[in-house]
Amino acid sequence: MKKRWIFAFSTLLVLSACGDNGDEETAADENGGNGGDDGEVETGDMDADFITIATGGTSGVYYPIGGAISNLLEGELGADSSVQSTGASVENINLLDTDRAELAIVMGDAVSQATEGTGPFEEEGAKDDLTAIASLYPNFVQVVTTEGSGIESIDDLAGHDVGVGDANSGVELNARMILEAHDMSYDDINEDYLSYSEAIDQIQNGMIDAAFVTSGLPNATVIDLSTTNDAKIIPIEGEGLENLQELYPFFSEGTIPAGTYDNEEDITTATIENLLIVNNELSEDAVYDITSTIFENIETIQGSHNAAEEITLDTVEEGLPIPFHPGAERYFEEQGVLD
């Protein structure tokens, strides 16, 4: 169903005229939105008076960042907004594609597969209309186990019970790719489709031996494991990492710094960018307002989680496999941050 995004300009204009709230004009008014005589903002093809932000599990990093964005859109733009907990990237892309969400946080690899019509998108075909607001921050692939498991490398996962993320989530896609880069597959492990929190609970209960946790740093569930067990992060390095980057160029090499958890030394692993993508049918002015609200209040977003501190205007293009939405592009061009 098409939605209409209505800003209550008449009230704000009255307050502004009285001089009580001159600093609280909407982003649309400040940045050239088309205010109508009836107090509405006519912003084009599709606007929303209710903005759903698709994130991930409540124990992950997407959820608090999505919550911070939602609060900003309500407080600064007067839009009704909600945060939806989901199975993350693949589900989020499908929610946008079926108009059941307006914004979504996703991993770059899932977006690449969606545009190519590969992996979990092979059956339904390529999605060629995905657009982005910005690249956000890097995700770190964290293969988590305990000191007593005997697992020291990705190869050692063979024969073990391993949490691979929710089915068709970005984490699960990563698990398949990383195993492939090490000449392995689900045939070599006993895969279990579990969310972050479920996987950590199962490790603590001795039901599984390891889990893939792809997220920003630090991940709350890994911290939780560290309070009850001698948690350990398995490195992704050497030939395995080289194979991974050759097969899937959107992966980069990253470092989990010493002290992030209980690790005494830096840990080499694979990273991949997280993106904020947007329903392509939202109008240019609507997305301009959303983008400007986020980046003109970036300290609020950065304060939602340690990983969000990486979100800046300087990195909005990093690892972006799809074009900007015209509204986001207009804002970034005005800021002079595009190459």
Please write the tens of the pLDDT for every residue from 214-232.
Answer: 888 889 899 999 999 999 9
Same domain, 191 and 164: yes
Does residue 3 lie within any of the structural domains? no
Residue 4: inside a domain, yes or no? no
- Do 133 and 155 fall into the same domain? no
Instruction: Looking at the structure, tell me whether residues 31 and 117 fall in a common domain.
Output: yes
Q: Is the residue at 107 inside a domain?
A: yes
How many folded domains does the chain comprise? 2
Same domain membership, residue 162 and residue 280: no
Compute the 3-state secondary structure of the chain and give helix, strand, coil in percent, each to the nearest 5.
40, 20, 40
DSSP string, 225-293: HHHHS-EEEEP--HHHHHHHHHH-TT-EEEEE-TTSSS-SS-EEEEEEEEEEEE-TTS-HHHHHHHHHH
Task: Count CA atoms within 13 Å of residue 49 on its CB side.
Answer: 10
pLDDT (tens place) for every residue of the chain, 339 residues total: 433 343 333 333 333 333 333 332 222 233 333 333 333 333 335 565 789 999 998 878 899 999 999 999 999 999 999 999 998 899 999 999 999 999 999 989 899 999 999 988 999 899 989 999 999 999 899 999 999 999 999 999 999 999 999 887 878 989 999 999 999 999 999 999 998 899 999 999 999 999 999 888 889 899 999 999 999 999 999 999 999 999 988 898 999 999 999 899 999 999 999 999 999 999 999 999 999 999 999 999 999 999 899 999 999 999 899 999 999 999 999 999 998
Domain that holds residue 192: 139-273
Is the same domain home to 143 and 260? yes
- The answer to whether residues 123 and 174 belong to one domain is no
Within a domain: residue 76?
yes
pTM: 0.72
CATH code for position 81: 3.40.190.10
